[in-house]
Structure 1
Amino acid sequence: MPETGTPRTVADLALEVRSKNAGPFWVTMELFIRDSTGYDLVAGPGYLSAPVIARLYGVAAETIRIFRIPELNVVKISFPRPVAQGSLRDRDIHAGQHHVPLALYPLPEVF
């Protein structure tokens, strides 16, 4: 959490935000949220939707898959990699840095 104690980004509500390959053509990101209150905000309708992820990552909204697991306070998001793993233009072969835009996504002002 930030020094003020007020959560400002998705990362502030999470125990962990990570990304990884899901094969050579897909990326998967996982949000492990601290508690059910944070989970309800992050997993709720309209906050982390396919159009939001599409805008953050420059992928087509219809290709995005979002899995919500309330029993674990986890949200999993998968989408096609922008380039195939290991190809000439691949800047992150393990997809280990793809989570950063999601982690830094701001929370709504009303939170």
Structure 2
Amino acid sequence: MLLRDIAHTRTGDKGNRSTLSVTVYEPQNFALLEKALTAERVQAHFAGTVHGPVERYALPHLGTLNFVMHQALGGGVTRSLALDAHGKCLSAHLLSFVLE
């Protein structure tokens, strides 16, 4: 099972910090999400991209885990030389790919 099978995500950024919220589709899956998706596992998943600590905040009434990832944007979105370091534009562009 992949994360996308039980949850959706939203992202945001401010300075050199990225926030990522993961929200389950069905409330009964929140316990699984909370157990499996730790700050340490998220930091390991983004190894090489996130150079600072990752903080996790649980919002069980919303079925959401919110992660704050420090030093994640190459100095900040407007300063980074990386192509769309936060990935919003690349993922949106891929959605327009035409399958034949």
TM-score in terms of structure 2 length: 0.72
Q: Does 1:53 align with 2:39?
A: no
Distance 1:67 1:79 in 2: 12
* Map of 2:3 onto structure 1: 10
Alpha-carbon offset, residue 91 of structure 1: 2.1
SS at match of 1:37: helix
| Per-residue deviation, residues 1-36 of structure 1 (Å, max 9, x unmatched) | xxxxxxx1111101x212221x11100111121122
Alpha-carbon offset, residue 96 of structure 1: 4.3
**Gapped runs of 5+ residues in structure 2?**
92-100
SS at match of 2:45: helix
Which of 6, 23, 35 in structure 2 is aligned with 1:32? 23
Query: Which consecutive aligned stretches of 4+ in structure 1 deviate over 6 angstroms post-superposition?
Result: none
Give the share of equivalent positions with the same residue, in percent: 14
Distance 1:57 1:12 in 2: 20
Task: Between the two structures, name the one with larger relative contact order (CA 8 Å, sep ≥ 6).
Answer: 1
Distance 1:38 1:50 in 2: 18
- When the two chains are superposed, the root-mean-square deviation of aligned CA atoms in Å is 2.1
Contact 1:39-1:70 within 8 A present in 2 as well: yes
Aligned partner letter, 2:40: P
TM-score in terms of structure 1 length: 0.65
Aligned partner letter, 1:28: T
Indicate how the Cα distance of structure 1 residues 25 and 34 shifts in structure 2: closer, same or farther if over 3 A, else same.
same
* Residue-pair matches, total: 85
Q: Does 1:90 align with 2:79?
A: no
Distance 1:27 1:34 in 2: 23
